[in-house]
Amino acid sequence: MRAAVFDSFGGEIRVERVADPVPKPDGVVLRVLASGVCRSDWHAWQGHDPMVRLPHVPGHELAGEVVAAGAEVRRLREGMRVTVPFVSGCGTCPTCARGDPQVCDRQYQPGFSGWGSFAELVALRYADLNVVELPEGLDPVQAATLGCRFGTSYRAVVELGRLGAGEWIAVFGCGGVGLSALCLARALGARAIGVDIDRERLALARQLGAEHVIDARGGDPCDAIAELTGGGAQVAMDALGDPVTLVQSVSCLAKRGRHLQVGLLLEDAARAPMPMDRVIARELEIYGCHGIKASSYPALLAMVGGGRVDLEPLIGRRVALEEVPHELAQMSDHSAPSGIAVIDRF
């Protein structure tokens, strides 16, 4: 098969022929129909994820068609069009038994703990428990956005943040995760504020559901958020992953508000200070969000299929496998255009 491979962290990414994958007894192999290019793939390339072993093929937002199944697989068959959350739970550990496979003790992550979907074929583990059949009529390119950025936003905004109609949400960082959160806010009947330093992203944020947008180059946005919301947002999300946006997200909340940390904080920033005086005084709730679980897909797909959420405006461009090195390189200096890039030609 053809795949995008790197042999060193931050080094050259080559599109070349490698051996086809073979399914594990509990797994399947998919022909990849579409794969999103996510900043988490950039983190894998840069060596920020300890699960990645060299040489490596990244890619974890995917839609595909089952072409082979292991001997233990019962629910899936060849020809099914499917997707999968980027975290596949084993189904047998204590964490999975509690209903939390998205933080499974023995999780499998394509593109991180195994080779991913920047390839013609991808192997998945724990398939019966995690692989989700796609409804008829859902474009594979749109389906590929669900496994990480949109799915993680759904988990954060709907399940953890419990955002309700008429409530305010402030989203810091209008990349793929942040824009997904704004789409969901509109679908839920909530009121949204998008915060970023990029005018193009702010324009797209307004198009996708932000009632107000704030250019953070003008200074701390918290005062403006307090004025717009009449005292603070009920929910706020740091979709960027930066000590500054983390503090701003917590600080802009109303009493009993919910902070959602979705953006990754790396290296020294992983121990970023938190304004705990405000957390205590306002009885704020703080949630980390790792990803969506397979059992959440029926409700998510019903939202999409029912027309409450339009995924197409999130997709900035459809690219070929050969364009992966360029797409990832743009993330190094934050020069990537707004919207999600999705590989649809392999």
**CA separation for the pair 214, 220 (Å, rounded):** 10
Q: Identity (one letter) of the amino acid at 42?
A: W
Beta-bridge mates of residue 238:
172, 261
Q: Please, are residues 210 and 189 in contact by the beta-carbon 8 Å criterion?
A: no
Whether domain 149-288 has CATH 3.40.50.80: the reply is no
Across the chain, which has 346 residues, the per-10-residue mean pLDDT values are 98 98 98 96 95 97 98 97 97 96 97 98 98 95 91 97 98 95 97 96 94 95 97 98 97 98 90 95 97 95 89 92 96 84 96
The token pair at 154 is 């759904």
Q: Please, are residues 343 and 37 in contact by the beta-carbon 8 Å criterion?
A: yes
pLDDT for res 14: 97
- Residue among 164, 200, 165, 207 nearest 182 (CA): 207
Neighbours of 101 (CB within 10 A): 26
If phi over 0 gives left and psi between -120 and 50 gives alpha, with beta otherwise, what is residue 89? beta
Helix, strand, coil abundance in the chain, percent, nearest 5: 35, 25, 40
Cis peptide bond prior to 55, omega within 30° of 0:
yes
**CA separation for the pair 254, 236 (Å, rounded):** 10
pLDDT for res 337: 83
**CA separation for the pair 207, 316 (Å, rounded):** 13
Q: How far is CA 245 from the centre of its chain?
A: 18
pLDDT for res 335: 78
pLDDT for res 213: 98
pLDDT for res 305: 86
Give the predicted TM-score (pTM) of the model: 0.94
pLDDT for res 339: 85
Q: How far is CA 2 from the centre of its chain?
A: 25
How do the domains of the chain map onto residue ranges? 2-145+311-345, 149-288
Top-level CATH class of 2-145+311-345?
A: alpha beta
